[in-house]
Amino acid sequence: MKIFQYILGIVFSIGMAFFNCYSTMAATKTISDTILPVELTLVYNKLSDNTIELTASLLTKINDVTTPLVNKDISFSFAGDSTKKIGLIKTNIDGKAILQISPNYILPTKVDGSIKYLVSFDGDELYSNSIAEITIKDIHIELNLIKTDSSKSVEVIVTKDSIGQRVPVKQIEVFLGVKRMLSLLRIGENTTTDDFGKVIIDFPNDLPGDSIGNLTVLAKIQDDELYGNVEKSVITNWGLPVSFNSEELPPSLYSDAAPLWMIIAVIVLLGGAWIHFLIVIYLIIKMKSAGKKIIKKTQETEIVIE
The bridge status of strand 114-121 relative to strand 175-179 is unpaired
Question: What was the pLDDT predicted at 231?
Answer: 96
- Please tell me the class of the 38-137 domain: mainly beta
Question: What was the pLDDT predicted at 162?
Answer: 81
Over residues 29-45, mean pLDDT: 80
Average pLDDT, the chain: 85
CB 107 within 8 A of CB 28: no
Alpha carbons 192 and 174: distance in angstroms, whole number: 6
Over residues 69-90, mean pLDDT: 91
DSSP state of 299: H
Cβ-based neighbours of 245, under 8 Å, separated by 6 or more: none
Question: CB-side exposure of 21: number of CA atoms within 13 Å?
Answer: 6
CB 200 within 8 A of CB 155: yes
What pLDDT digit, counting tens, does each position of 211-242 carry?
899 999 999 999 999 999 999 999 999 998 98
Alpha carbons 74 and 43: distance in angstroms, whole number: 14
Query: Which has the closest alpha carbon to 61: 88, 95, 27, 84?
Result: 95
The residue type of 45 is: N
Over residues 190-206, mean pLDDT: 92
pLDDT at residue 208 above 50?
yes
CB 267 within 8 A of CB 275: no
Over residues 278-297, mean pLDDT: 82
Question: What was the pLDDT predicted at 14?
Answer: 60
What pLDDT digit, counting tens, does each position of 139-164 carry?
999 999 999 888 899 999 999 988 77
pLDDT at residue 255 above 60?
yes
Burial class (CB within 10 angstroms; exposed 0-12, middle 13-18, buried 19+) of 156: buried
pLDDT at residue 106 above 80?
yes
What percent of the chain has pLDDT above 90?
A: 55
Question: What was the pLDDT predicted at 2?
Answer: 47
Alpha carbons 96 and 101: distance in angstroms, whole number: 16
Architecture of the 139-236 domain: Sandwich (2.60)
Give the H or E element holding residue 27: helix 2-33
What pLDDT digit, counting tens, does each position of 126-145 carry?
999 999 999 999 999 999 99
Question: CB-side exposure of 61: number of CA atoms within 13 Å?
Answer: 5
DSSP state of 247: -
pLDDT greater at residue 293 or residue 22: 293
Alpha carbons 112 and 185: distance in angstroms, whole number: 35
- Same CATH topology for 38-137 and 139-236? yes
pLDDT-based confidence at 1, cuts 50/70/90?
A: very low
Cβ-based neighbours of 171, under 8 Å, separated by 6 or more: 192, 193
Task: Name the residue ranges covered by the structural domains of the chain.
Answer: 38-137, 139-236
Q: What is the pTM of this model?
A: 0.68
Give the H or E element holding residue 272: helix 260-305
Compute the CA torsion angle 85, 90, 95, 99 (nearest 10 deg): -50
pLDDT at residue 93 above 50?
yes
- Where would I find the beta strands (DSSP E) of 12-151? 38-46, 52-62, 65-68, 73-79, 84-90, 96-101, 114-121, 130-137, 139-147
